[in-house]
Amino acid sequence: DRVAEIMAGMSRRQKVGQLFMSRVYGYRAKEPAPGAVRSNEAHLGVADARELFDRFPVGSVVYFAHAGNLQHPEQVARLSNGIQRAALETGTMPVLISTDQEHGIIERLGPPATRFPGSMALGATRDRDLARAAARVTGEDLRAVGIHQDLAPVADVNNDPANPVIGVRSFGSKPGLVSSMTAAQVRGFQDDAQVAATVKHFPGHGDTSIDSHVGLPTIDHSTVTWWELDAPPFEAAIEAGVDVVMTAHVRVPSLDPSGRPATLSRPILTEILRERMGYDGVVMTDSLAMAAIRDRYGDDRAPVLALMAGADIVADPPDLPAAFRGVMTAVENGEIGQERLDRSVERVLRLKERLGLLNDALVDVDAVEAELGTTADLDVARAVGDAAVTVLRDRRSWLPIKSGWNVALTGVRPEGAGALERTLQGADRSLTTGWTGSDPGSMEISKALKLARAADLTIVITEHLGSFPRQRSLVQRLLDSGQQVVVVYAGSPYEASWFASASAQVATYSDVP
């Protein structure tokens, strides 16, 4: 048993290191840019990845755009190889590297990696095969650049339209739909692409109006409601063999009346997830840098409490030296027992073994360009887009847009504007554009109204309507003008509730081209 042999030769410090997932700043593993060095020193107490593993032999690394890790795929592959070499040079195990490639509004790896419009768009397709294919394509892209774990799919049932942190990141508001799509994506990531899937955020983050990045939400579901509404997607993921479950920084009083967030709750992580639901894979926390945890429990104690509750990996501690010191102290004084420590280390190492990291953790940088964005992969993305776009309403049969019509485009200019303009100009249509931006003034609104009066049909594209009253005013004035207007929601489809009078409404769930 290779894992048992490895564990027999590990020091206590090396074992503790396997329980940590850390960020590292910069786009190079060694000698990053001065700004990255300063950030590493401030948060990790080291200058670069080599020093990180020398001082804190962490078992996992997470890539973030704001940490400067993700410039382009070839660079990411070089960074991954550099991190693995730095770990091996310091006597550390090969590293599990992860990132959040949910697609849609949470996307880390850019072109030429294949892009998708996100989970709610996939949910709108109602097609499990497409969901699985999208996960396979994403997993293969990640694996090509040395990333072995995707912090996806989101298994939260989004039953609060005002949810500030989940929304279109969820497959939808129906437990059955979310369950089937979650299970399909787990199989696509793991069975088809050999990348670890991570279902999140257990026990469910879909019914809250507070973002756990800035506060501690409370989910007031009864135990019966939780089992009927929130639990099914996680049960489906467990049945599909999911490698990792990520915790949520939310309180659920019906599951744990102590008031502790799920991340630090033994009743939730051990008694429910492990014992009642039968899950024996890796449990990791959401980022410990989030205010829901950090403001209440401290950088040294939060990871200890999470491990005692049942977590195996503590993710993204904002002060790594304090967190590492806290866990080492808890192990040395017996607060975290040797058996408890070994159980988590074994889960982490068995995951690395399954992913092939114990054999060869390096990737072929020269092959990255050919492996990403293939014709076959882009065909999957187009199929998802075609099946996802939803006509919410078309009372007067304006869609599809008729040949020969003069079409006006206004509102928020989406990332996919160029592709949209090229498409609309086909079939003998003429096109005029007058983008107003997210927060139009009176002059921009007047120009948009003038544009609409000269057109046969006006398409107004919206996004983040709740944050921009003047954008809502633009849409309402277009609807009140008596012109033929199609409202396109390039973000949350819940925003359709603003405009009950609109004759034609379309949801795209994303502004990805």
Per-residue burial over 359-386, b = 16 or more CB atoms within 10 Å of its CB, e = otherwise: eebebebeebeebbbeeebeebbebbbe
Q: What is the DSSP letter of 268?
A: I
Nearest Cα residue to 102 out of 458, 462, 512, 469: 512
Largest CA distance in the chain: 78
CA dist list (Å): 303 to 14, 16, 37, 413: 16, 11, 25, 43
Q: Among candidates 225, 239, 197, which has minimal Cα distance to 100?
A: 197
Distance, first Cα to last Cα, the chain: 48
Pairing of strands 457-462, 485-489: parallel
Helix (H), strand (E) at residue 236: helix 231-239
CB atoms within 10 A of CB 322: 16
Say which amino acid occupies 40: N
Q: Is 201 exposed, middle or buried (0-12, 13-18, 19+ CB in 10 A)?
A: buried
Q: What is the DSSP string of 284-350?
A: EPSPTTSHHHHHHH-TTTHHHHHHHHT-SBEE--SSHHHHHHHHHHHHHTTSS-HHHHHHHHHHHHH
The packing angle between helices 302-309 and 320-332, to 10°, is 50
Q: Which residues contact 223 (CB under 8 A, 6 or more apart)?
A: 254, 255
Choosing from 286, 300, 316, 377, the catalytic residue is 286
Instruction: Say whether 213 is catalytic.
Output: yes
| CA distances from residue 334 to 325, 338, 340, 341, 441 in whole angstroms, order as listed | 14, 8, 10, 10, 63
Helices 338-354 and 302-309: crossing angle in degrees, nearest 10, is: 80
**How far, in Å, CA of 173 to CA of 176, rounded?**
9
Q: What is the DSSP string of 119-171?
A: HHHHHHHT-HHHHHHHHHHHHHHHHHTT--EE---B------TT-SSSGGGSS
Asked if 43 is an active-site residue, the reply is no
Strand (E) or helix (H) holding 395: none
Q: 160, 211, 213, 464: which is the annotated catalytic residue?
A: 213
Q: Give the CA distances from residue 431 to residues 4, 400, 449, 456, in Å, rounded to whole numbers and listed in that order.
A: 67, 15, 15, 10
Residues 6+ apart with CB under 8 A from 290: 212, 213, 249
CB atoms within 10 A of CB 503: 16
Show which residues are catalytic: 213, 286
